[in-house]
Every structure is written in C-alpha cells, then in structure tokens.
Amino acid sequence: MIINSKMIRRDELESAVALSCRNTLSKMVEETDSLCEEEQAKDVFFQELFLNMRSESDDICVSFYDIDCEKGLLSVGVKESYENLLGITTTLYVKRTVILQ
C-alpha cells in the first residue's frame, strides 16, 4: 500500500510540475506589453503549482534552473516531502524542462 501511495504522489507531482511549467510559459509569452521578468515568472509558477497540487505536503522546495520567456524555456526542479501512512517522511524530486514552440 505504501508503494502504491508513493507512486500516486509521484504521478501527481510530475503532472502538476509539467502542467505548471506549460501554463507559466503560456502566460508569460502572451504578455507582449511588458518584458518577461524572472521574478514574475517564478510567482506565476508558484501559483500554478499550488493550484495543480491536490495532496498536502509538509515541505515543497522549488529550484529554478533556467527561465527564458523570449525563447519559451523554463527548467525547474521540485522537491516534495510528506509523511507517509507509517509516519515516515518521504521525499520525491521531479525536474522538468519545457520549451514552447
């Protein structure tokens, strides 16, 4: 059961990060009236990530590796820690790079 729970959490994290990356880039590329700023892109990503996460986590850490709105590039790593059913802290890590064309 714990293995199944971990797989479910990993799938959720992977899909949330992928969707958040795509939505962030789409929103940032659409904003043609202002220059894309890294801090603004980070804020949008955080909003998207928390909208797409269904499970509660003890700790989420996001690392931004590359942000380039002109090229449509976003590369992030997300580390999620949570307590499983046995009370053991489990950590998952997902790295995703998305390029819009």
Two structure tokens written together for 79: 């580390």
Q: Contact 49/22 with Cβ under 8 angstroms?
A: no
What are the structural domain ranges in the chain?
2-99
> In sequence order, which residues have a C-beta less than 8 Å from that of residue 56 and are 6 or more positions away?
82
Tens of pLDDT, residues 46-96: 999 999 888 877 789 999 999 887 788 899 999 999 888 788 888 999 999
> In sequence order, which residues have a C-beta less than 8 Å from that of residue 86 and are 6 or more positions away?
2
> Which residue has tokens 């928390």?
50
Global confidence as pTM: 0.85
Tens of pLDDT, residues 4-46: 788 888 999 999 999 999 999 888 877 654 556 788 889 999 9
> In sequence order, which residues have a C-beta less than 8 Å from that of residue 32 and are 6 or more positions away?
none
